[in-house]
Copies of this chain bind each other. A is one copy, B any other.
Amino acid sequence: MLDQADLDSVFRALADPGRRSMVERLSQGPASVSELGRPLDMSLAAVLQHVQVLESCGLVRTRKVGRTRTCSIDSGVLRSAEAWISERRALVERRLDRLADYLASTAEPLDVAIDWPSPPDAPPGPPESR
């Protein structure tokens, strides 16, 4: 599980569209730094800087073989950030469900005779046969 400082840096890493696009690309499989940068309109230095942010918070691991640095994603870190949000979201939704149940159980039943109008085009039928 991530501690508070880890959560700070993971959410901060995800708060950038370029870094999210890198996480999206890596969710489909490992990629080199230059592959990650290809769809983004930024210099290789800027791409590397983003990769370093993703690496320092643990979302991405990199491995250098020869001149190529290959990046891959750590699904455990993604899962921990997801868990933080989903636990709070579940609490809110459970509370709202309980509130809805309470309101339904205490609602006054409608105790009025409703005089439904007959449909305007109803064919005239024998008045007493129904």
Contact B4 A17 (CB under 8 A): yes
Q: Is A86 an interface residue (CB 8 A)?
A: yes
Describe A's contact surface by its main secondary structure. helix
Q: Is A79 an interface residue (CB 8 A)?
A: yes
Number of copies: 2
Task: Tell me the bound Cα distance from A17 to B84 in angstroms.
Answer: 12
List, in ascending order, chain B residues with CB within 8 A of A104's CB.
Answer: none
Q: Is A121 an interface residue (CB 8 A)?
A: no
Task: Tell me the bound Cα distance from A82 to B7 in angstroms.
Answer: 14
Task: Tell me the bound Cα distance from A89 to B73 in angstroms.
Answer: 9
Contact with B along A94-123 (1 / 0, CB 8 A): 011000000000000000000000000000
